[in-house]
Structure 1
């Protein structure tokens, strides 16, 4: 059987090219994914940056620890408390203490972060030009020495650059002069006025003595643990997690589409070779021998393609690692390590995919009867295909109903809306022959000769039509489902924000800052307005005694909040909110008005609060509400302004602009446009990668099946030429048939996407969100157009090459 398989591959190499390329690319991507995951798992911990030369760093407690029966549960605090003054005083008795402060500075180079000058020695920074700042209006900057002597206008006042610095040990950074941050150093006195609170400091003393002194009031960091005092210490692990999710999703989609393409290609190849198998049966071949022949072909193609894919992946992995690091999807230091298991996993997965894709085709080939050589293929759907398609369709329907009735919010999660459509897509592809015949007849209902021939060809060759339409169905359905889901969710979140916001104006401070008391007094003095200052905060609750759940929230005064915001409540009233209560949403385990819940506030303070009102679950943006007293340390980052009767909006806008200082004053409509929800960068790149993989495989499958189908119809083309059809008419027929198949596949894919989005809108309705269905028509049109162009080219070019021969020769007749 292996000899027969090798000879078949040699004579029918064009038919197996698509499977080879699809498997090769799939294994290459799986190799890259495996190498990236293995390298991220063994990635080194990031070393300290700002405090690389500091002996001991004392950092205020920024972690909440809650004991549970299965161990302590931890979470990051939203508002860590400053270091107690008594602790700082006690540490000064042990040795020199340098207080650290960090605050954003707007103006000058982008992303400036302010620090006191005395902390520059701990990075350590080298003064490359100029001198240290001595007065309140002098600063030292990291970066280009040419800035020396310039004056900068910032939100912290106008300052003069008297020195420039370069950090040691960052020669390989993106900007070696700047290093890991864009820092501006003020005098210690000026920095203390700009940021009075102290959350961390450096102590030159014995670490053991420092630990005894601080006790449990702060964290003592030494060695590599000093990185926890840097800005955003978890950014590397978060980037690696996002990268792993991106590559994991890509690997899953690759495996799914690879099986789909290989199975479709082998099924089409077996259907084309039906008469060949029937003749083998006539000469004495058993069904088992036929099956083993097909599986041997798949094994050979799979082994060669998997080996080539591993080699290709080993070359692509380092380049991809450099690219994702440059794009900020991975830490700048991320590289591919020396690992072997990803190659084994990718190779054997590719081989398994090839065998899995050919198994169903081999059983169909083994059932070929000897008399099949004497009759045409009926093209009816096989019982096994009908059974599998029906089972998958019922599974998709039942799981959707169960999710809608049990946990509709699960449909809004990224893992769910990426994986769930694949079940329905597979079912639709398996059952496509049931609807392709009437659908193609509808698409070719024009009373023309070409339309009649296309209608006859697609109706009689249903199996061939299904094989060509399947990859188009997969791509259009994925594009419609994934992009449509994200667009629908964004539109639903925007509708929620619009329904909640009733204020005429919304004020926001510069990023990273908040409104101070003086600004609030000026804003309250603006006539004809009611203002509602709110702060971002968070609370934690222990559910089921073991799960510490964080809920984002806002701190607001109840009366002002009710005047500027319309909260989507299911029970209770906003006016019932007070310092002893909280407003929760329907996702909380306990969410009945009047119940008391134990929570931990943003600074870790435990409180037992009464539930004053309950919000709808919504899309997940309906957080909790507390009073400002229950959000200690939270800065005011938004002010809603409502107009009183008779107030002039233009005059109020002018007065607010004067009183807000550096803050932005936006109308309600402008604020809604500025904060319109957008898909985050990692998710967007992940979706584009998934769709790119699907489109690539679609191109491979469409081109392969079109070429195979054209070569198999050489005699049909010859008969048309002998019957009087011109060369141009035959080419038009081939192109029209390809367009009809693509249109049928696109319509089926659109139907699948519509069903998926209908389930999403049902979930949104159950979550009390106004559904706003959004179809990505532009992306769908682009995808369908690309498939159509590729299909027409793959059908017309082989047909034109075949028509170069004489019709009699093409038909196998003597001239």
Structure 2
């Protein structure tokens, strides 16, 4: 039997080569994405960076810790408290102390006489910088690389740009006069020194007095004293103030950091782990989709390879082979192909994983230090997955091959008369019902789930499998639909293409499978993300009735107080200044859930917004109240909820209104008193009836120029804050779709080569009936285009169901937004599939036509 197996493999080397290529590439993709995913499980350990030279650092804890029946639960605070002046004075008795203050800084373009508003993109040079007093530099890695320390209030020291091209493009040098935007406004300052750049922050140093003026709160305290004495002083200060709530917070809310613990005082000490969380989510999704695509294509290819050999199996049955012998032969062939193919795939994965990591780093998706580790479990997983999938791919087909009766063999091999057995119908129905059932279930119970990435990235998979299983039933009517007009045109090409595709249902379904998955994935993922982005922008536009929105780009920062003051003084305007904060609630006494929130004046908010209120009144918001959304467990108006505010203080607030969930951006609202550490980061301005629009516009832009603040109209703000697709989302989709679609494209070519090479005899018969070579090539081309059209229609059906489900979810969430279909991207992918299909079909046909038809026909006989 082994000898017969090897002889069969040698005789049908094209088929087995195609199976080998499909499996090797599939295993390679699984191994590469698995290795990249494994590298995200552990971030490198870093020592202290910002306070590397500080003996002891004292700061308020930035962690909320709540005791629950199952242990302590923690969350990071949105607004960590400052170090009290009294504690700073007490610690100064133990030794020399240095007060560190941290506040946002940016550079406006002063050369043109304007502020940040002169920038076309609405952002100022130096965005993301932070200010510090110069005295704290001695406790940090910063050392002068040029110039001197600041001595007067209008002098600063800046960090050098890390690369020479950045310095030449937009950096500053010693002696430059620049316009610096701080929480107090914009002022011209002189750069008197530079320090080396770091990768954890972009620092700007001021004199100690100027820093204290700009930011009175003490962020951290460097203490040159014994750590034990410092800890005793901190505890004593807290214990002495028994009549003050702040003292109770201080008793459990301060950290004395030494040694490696000083890293906790670094800016965003968990940034490495947090960066890997995003990369892990991206690669996890890519690995899941890659695994699905690989399994789908490999199983389809192996099943098709077995189905191609029905004539051969029929002849073996006629010669006396038993069904068991046929099954053993098929499985032996699968093992002989799968083992070396899986091993080759693992080698390809080892070679490809570093390239994926380099692409992620080069495009800013992963941190610069990200690299593939020495994990081996992804290779084991990929190898055994490939082997198991190959076995599964031939299981059903081998069973059917063994059931062929000798007297039916040749007739069975001629036409696909029974391409859909009952078992496949049942399995396809179950898969389709599962996919549609999950969609209906989510719409009925949690429509917001449809907008989450894990849902809309994975839901199409069940529908793709279901449609692929039912392809033998769906192909004939689709073929008749697509060829209705071509079959009626003069000439036999359209009619022959229709007949060949309809009679070779298995071949048509196998070739259409890669096109199905290409169109379904691309349309579902690109269409869903574009629709969600459009829905978010539409929702934001609906909820904002302001004519101007001035907001700090990014997550951190503050608007200059001078701008807020000047904006409020402009006649004919309604102004709402709000702050970003957070509110944490304990759900079911076991889980801390943090919600993004805004601190607002309710009267001002009502003048510039139209919030989607489900119950209650936002106007009833006061210092003892809170506005929540429908995602909260407690959402009954009048109900009191226990929460922890952004600075960690516990409070019991009354629910005054409940907002609809929407796309997920409808957060929580409190008053400014319940967000004492938050700074104004957004101002909404609305023209009152009868106001002079031109005068208001001129006054606002004058205030922006004077304070270095970007002033945007509502439309410009929406375009900037709600782009059609963020860069991270675009790159993530590019990675996911790029890997999947590259493989499906190769699989399409591979399957077509297998299918066309198996039709050498059919092409010879056409030549013997008088068909010319150009006519044969036109027929092959028409059949390839027909199969691409069938696969595209099946993929479009899958994508349509997904997008309609998304549209239903948005409607249930009370968000009115149109579906966005990426017609351009889909057209390009279908066109690329058509080109690949034609090339993959025509080239083997050209090779086949080199042989004389009589010789091929004689061989067949």
SS in 2 for 1:798: helix
Alignment match of 2:647 (pick from 582, 603, 628): 603
1:465 to 494, 501, 508: 508
Query: Does the 8 Å CA contact 2:26/2:295 hold for their aligned counterparts?
Result: no
Q: 1:584·1:624 contact (CA, 8 Å) conserved in 2?
A: yes
Q: Deviations over 1:549-597 (max 9, x none)?
A: 1111111111221111001011111211111111111111111111111
Name which of 340, 346, 361 aligns with 2:382.
Answer: 346
Please report how far the alpha carbon of residue 735 of structure 1 lies from its aligned counterpart in structure 2 after TM superposition: 0.5
Q: Does the C-alpha gap of structure 1 residues 257 and 657 become closer, same or farther in structure 2, counting only changes over 3 Å?
A: same
Q: Is 589-598 or 144-153 further displaced after alignment? A: 144-153
- After TM superposition, list the pairs within 5 Å mapping 1:189-228 onto structure 2: 189-215=209-235, 216-228=252-264
C-alpha separation in 1, matches of 2:391 and 2:536: 45
Partner SS state of residue 691, structure 2? coil
Instruction: For residue 678 of structure 1, report the CA deviation from its aligned partner.
Output: 4.5
**1:420-431 superposed matches below 5 A:** 420-431=459-470
Q: Tell me whether 1:164 sits opposite 2:194 in the alignment.
A: yes
Change (3 A) 1:771 1:517: closer
Per-residue deviation, residues 692-711 of structure 1 (Å, max 9, x unmatched): 22212222222122112222
Of 179, 183, 186 in structure 2, the residue corresponding to residue 153 of structure 1 is 179
Q: Which among 672, 686, 694 is matched to residue 628 of structure 1?
A: 672
Contact 2:37 2:287 in 1 (8 A): no
**Per the alignment, do residues 263 and 371 of structure 1 end up closer, same or farther by CA in structure 2, a change over 3 Å counting?**
farther
Q: CA deviation at 1:129?
A: 2.7
- Which residue number in structure 2 is paired with residue 360 of structure 1? 396
Helix, strand or coil at the partner of 1:155: strand
In 2 relative to 1, CA 518–794 (structure 1 residues): closer, same or farther, beyond 3 Å?
closer
The separation in 2 between residues aligned to 1:44 and 1:179, in whole angstroms, is 15
Q: Distance in 1 between matches of 2:752 and 2:285?
A: 29
CA distance in 2, matches of 1:404, 1:109: 45
Q: 5+ unaligned residues in a row in structure 1: which ranges?
A: 167-176
Partner of 2:617: 573
Correspondences of 1:4-15 after superposition (within 5 Å): 4-15=4-15
Alpha-carbon distance, 1:272 to partner: 1.5
Q: Which residue of structure 2 aligns with residue 412 of structure 1?
A: 451
User: 2:578–2:599: 8 Å Cα contact kept in structure 1?
Assistant: yes
Q: Is the 8 A contact 2:201 2:267 kept in 1?
A: no
User: Matched residues in 1 for 2:509 and 2:470: separation?
Assistant: 9
Q: 1:129 aligns with which of 129, 146, 154?
A: 146
Q: Superposition pairs for residues 208-607 of structure 1, below 5 Å?
A: 208-215=228-235, 216-375=252-411, 376-380=414-418, 381-446=420-485, 447-448=488-489, 449-509=492-552, 512-607=556-651
Query: Quick one: structure 1 residues 693 and 22, their matched pair in 2 at CA, closer, same or farther if it must change by over 3 Å?
Result: farther
Evaluate the alpha carbon distance shift between residue 90 and residue 26 of structure 1 in structure 2; reply closer, same or farther with a 3 A threshold: farther
| Distance in structure 1 (CA, Å) of the matches to 2:503 and 2:370 | 55
With over 3 angstroms needed to count, the CA separation of the structure-2 counterparts of 1:394 and 1:179, relative to structure 1, is closer
- Rounded Cα–Cα distance in structure 2 between residues aligned with 1:104 and 1:393: 53
Using the TM superposition, name which of 318-327 and 241-250 deviates more: 318-327
Residue of structure 1 equivalent to 2:733: 687
For the residues of structure 1 that align with 2:260 and 2:407, how far apart are their CA atoms? Answer: 77
The aligned counterpart of 1:760 is 806
Q: CA deviation at 1:481?
A: 0.9
2:509 & 2:553 partners in 1: Cα distance?
A: 57
Cα separation, 2, equivalents of 1:317 and 1:515: 44
Corresponding residue of 1:22: 22
What secondary structure is seen at the aligned counterpart in 2 of 1:554? Answer: strand
**Residues 66 and 776 of structure 1: is their aligned pair in 2 closer, same or farther, counting only changes over 3 Å?**
same
Q: Pick closer, same or farther for the CA change 1:542–1:469 going to 2, 3 Å.
A: same
CA contact (8 A) 2:323 2:403 kept: yes
Alpha-carbon distance in structure 2 between the residues aligned to 1:287 and 1:722: 36
Contact 1:48 1:227 in 2 (8 A): yes
Is 2:86 the partner of 1:86? yes
Give how far 1:117 is off: 1.4
Q: Conserved in 2, the CA contact under 8 Å of 1:246 and 1:682? A: no
Contact 1:59-1:219 within 8 A present in 2 as well: yes
Question: Is the deviation greater in 645-654 or in 20-29?
Answer: 20-29
Task: Answer yes or no: is the 8 Å Cα contact 1:54–1:202 preserved in 2.
Answer: yes
Normalized against structure 1, the TM-score is what?
Answer: 0.95
Selected match of 1:745 from 791, 794, 805: 791
Q: Distance in 1 between matches of 2:276 and 2:309?
A: 48
For the Cα contact (< 8 Å) 2:629–2:668, is it kept in 1? yes
Question: Would you say the 8 A contact 2:773–2:849 is kept in 1?
Answer: yes
Q: Aligned partners of 2:586, 2:370: CA distance in 1, in Å?
A: 36
Deviation digits for residues 682-723 of structure 1, max 9, x if unmatched? 443332222222212222222122112222222221222222
Aligned partners of 2:33, 2:498: CA distance in 1, in Å? 44
How far residue 504 of structure 1 moved from its aligned partner, in angstroms, is 1.8
Seen in structure 2, the aligned counterparts of structure 1 residues 18 and 55 have a Cα distance that, compared at 3 Å, is farther
SS at match of 1:811: helix
- 2:534–2:724 contact (8 Å) kept in structure 1: no
CA distance in 2, matches of 1:638, 1:801: 68
Q: How far did residue 41 of structure 1 move?
A: 3.2
Matched-pair contact (CA < 8 Å) for 1:524–1:531? yes
Deviates more, 1:479-488 or 1:655-664: 655-664
Distance in 1 between residues matched to 2:78 and 2:209, nearest whole Å: 27
Residues 19 and 261 in structure 1, CA contact (< 8 A), matched pair in contact too: no
CA contact (8 A) 1:274 1:372 kept: no
Q: 1:188 aligns to what? A: 208
Q: Is the 8 A contact 2:44 2:272 kept in 1?
A: no
Cα distance change, pair 644–153 in 1 and its aligned pair in 2 (3 A): closer
User: Is contact 1:236-1:330 (8 Å) kept?
Assistant: no
CA displacement at 1:313 relative to structure 2: 2.2
1:806 deviation in Å?
Answer: 2.1
Deviates more, 1:544-553 or 1:421-430: 544-553
Q: What secondary structure is seen at the aligned counterpart in 2 of 1:250?
A: helix
Q: Any idea what the Cα deviations from partners look like across 1:82-116, whole Å, max 9, x if unmatched?
A: 11122111211221111112233322656433222
How far did 1:798 drift?
1.1
Native 8 Å contact 2:365 2:731 kept in 1: no
Cα distance in 1 between the residues matched to 2:29 and 2:305: 26
Runs of 5+ unmatched residues, structure 2: 108-124, 162-166, 236-251
Q: Structure 2 CA distance, aligned partners of 1:425 and 1:687?
A: 19
Counterpart of 2:681 (choices 637, 644, 647) is 637
Q: Is contact 1:46-1:236 (8 Å) kept? A: no
CA distance in 2, matches of 1:334, 1:122: 29
Task: Encode CA deviations 1:277-319: one digit per residue, 9 max, x unaligned.
Answer: 1111122222122112212222222211121122222233334
After superposition, the Cα gap between the structure-2 partners of 1:451 and 1:385, relative to the gap in structure 1 and judged at 3 Å, is same
Which sits farther off after the overlay, 708-717 or 559-568? 708-717
Tell me the SS of whatever aligns to 2:143: strand
- How far residue 48 of structure 1 moved from its aligned partner, in angstroms, is 1.7
- 606-615 or 762-771, larger mean C-alpha shift: 762-771
More displaced stretch, 444-453 vs 141-150: 141-150
Q: Is the 8 A contact 2:19 2:305 kept in 1?
A: no
CA drift of 1:785 comes to 0.9
